[in-house]
Amino acid sequence: MGVSVLSKSMPVQENQPWVSGTPADIISTVEFNHTGELLATGDKGGRVVIFQREPESKNAPHSQGEYDVYSTFQSHEPEFDYLKSLEIEEKINKIKWLPQQNAAHSLLSTNDKTIKLWKITERDKRPEGYNLKDEEGKLKDLSTVTSLQVPVLKPMDLMVEVSPRRIFANGHTYHINSISVNSDCETYMSADDLRINLWHLAITDRSFNIVDIKPANMEDLTEVITASEFHPHHCNLFVYSSSKGSLRLCDMRAAALCDKHSKLFEEPEDPSNRSFFSEIISSVSDVKFSHSGRYMLTRDYLTVKVWDLNMEARPIETYQVHDYLRSKLCSLYESDCIFDKFECAWNGSDSVIMTGAYNNFFRMFDRNTKRDVTLEASRESSKPRAVLKPRRVCLGGKRRRDDISVDSLDFTKKILHTAWHPAENIIAIAATNNLYIFQDKVNADAH
């Protein structure tokens, strides 16, 4: 499959030594922009850190464009909802890049309640030679001014400036779990547990509610929205997933309120595997359209599934992420691990899918060869330029030397957030406080 990879690991906070157990540094979302040049991470402390890929240097051919910190800013602050006497966490739930339309980059970042549009600009020149002001900006003594000069732009050290351009507040009663920019580049949607709103990027005081699954009587609530995404090409289509494991494809042309789905994707339950935990493990934690727009990828607790938009009855492919946990569901329920929300990702050509697991493992599945691999993101096994070694979890019985047994898995080390470069085989893995960026060896050698 060619998944031997190079690795470079870096702590998110470059200025500070890596401090274990600092809750605010836990990475909560990772997202490449549309070209892959920029990589944004959000953390529990409300900060956004953007990495930029260095252009490849002819002098150092082995320095395949590496990612360095480009900008850091505080996106969200903790707030207090006085009416409900509850805190509103500043944790960044999702970041989505807008397609680049000019020299500036823009992204949307959201916490539980408020979405913000940030504009990132570069400044590498500054005007010098003002007539009325001196170098420091103080007014000149007019008697010393004897001639007129035209200010000229002189180069300066690159400065990255970030400014909040829009704040989309008060749109959600419940916790926002997803945002997705429409292919029309004018609108985007935000989804919370019970509702989905459609916004215009330029209008902050109004949004349209397009899905509402809140029952008239909250006592009847049995299902919530877990994730949603716009179709990559059809601006009228979007999908949302539920805690009962179903996907609903909605067409905004059909009605203003898309409560009636156009298509319902649901796999019938396997009666032989039925238990009290069946519903919980069927809850979809992430849904992603393929780049082609033909397929959808979903993640539930134990599997990733590929769905064909043309077939609602069942997924076309199912991959087991960590089936060895099936017999441990009760303890995982007790420890709340069963509620962990793992994300999933497609590669650029939609041929490989990736998702995270426990013990800092992440898994990749090649859809064509049907081969899969388990890799580990950890400081010990990831020296720069090292090739990652495939890992194996053994269930008892025959055990090879480097195998990990199920009982020694560390469930506090979970890889929930992963991202794949839109075109190349570069992946970003968030392991608690650390961000790992892995590149395909094949790519590196070719340069």
Partner 1 sequence: MYLRELSVSVSTMFARGLKRKCDQEEVTEGFGTVPSYSLQRQSLLDMSLVKLQLCHMLVEPNLCRSVLIANTVRQIQEEMSRDGVWHPGAPQGAGRAPLDRLVSTEVLCRTARGPHGEQAVPESGESPSQTPAPGLCTVSLAQELRDPESGLWEMDSPRESRASFSKSLDQIFETLESKPPGSMEELLSDVESSYYDLDTVLTGVVSGSKPGLCGGLEGFTTAPSPPSSGCKSDLAELDHVVEILVET
Q: Where along the sequence are the contacts to partner 1 (CB under 8 A)?
A: 81, 83-89, 112, 170, 173-175, 193-194, 205-206, 214, 218-219, 221-224, 226, 243, 272-280, 283, 326-331, 333-334, 336, 339
Closer to partner 1 by CB, 144 or 272: give it: 272
| Rounded distance between C-alpha atoms, residue 110 and residue 169, angstroms | 10
CB atoms within 10 A of CB 39: 24
Tokens of 342: 């793992």
Tokens of 149: 């000069």
CB 6 → partner 1: shortest distance, Å? 37
CB 367 → partner 1: shortest distance, Å? 28
| Rounded distance between C-alpha atoms, residue 343 and residue 328, angstroms | 21
CB 214 → partner 1: shortest distance, Å? 7
User: Is the Cβ–Cβ distance between 119 and 101 less than 8 Å?
Assistant: no
What stretches of 252-388 show up as alpha helix (H) in DSSP? 278-282, 329-334
User: Is the Cβ–Cβ distance between 438 and 7 less than 8 Å?
Assistant: yes
CB 331 → partner 1: shortest distance, Å? 6
Closer to partner 1 by CB, 115 or 329: give it: 329
| Rounded distance between C-alpha atoms, residue 235 and residue 131, angstroms | 52
| Rounded distance between C-alpha atoms, residue 271 and residue 352, angstroms | 30
Closer to partner 1 by CB, 265 or 301: give it: 301
Identify the CA nearest to 274 among candidates 222, 329, 324, 318.
329
User: Is the Cβ–Cβ distance between 221 and 214 less than 8 Å?
Assistant: yes
Closer to partner 1 by CB, 238 or 301: give it: 301
User: What is the strand order of the sheet 286-289 is part of?
Assistant: 286-289, 295-299, 303-308, 317-320
CB 275 → partner 1: shortest distance, Å? 4
| Rounded distance between C-alpha atoms, residue 370 and residue 316, angstroms | 13
- Residue 207 CB-density burial (10 A; 0-12 exposed, 13-18 middle, 19+ buried): buried
Tokens of 121: 């600009």
Closer to partner 1 by CB, 50 or 287: give it: 287
CB 129 → partner 1: shortest distance, Å? 49
Strands 404-405 and 393-394: parallel
**Phi, then psi, of 381 in degrees rounded to 5:** -95, 5
Closer to partner 1 by CB, 192 or 376: give it: 192
CB 329 → partner 1: shortest distance, Å? 5
Closer to partner 1 by CB, 157 or 336: give it: 336
Closer to partner 1 by CB, 120 or 191: give it: 191
Closer to partner 1 by CB, 4 or 278: give it: 278
CB 113 → partner 1: shortest distance, Å? 10
CB 107 → partner 1: shortest distance, Å? 25
User: Is the Cβ–Cβ distance between 418 and 436 less than 8 Å?
Assistant: no
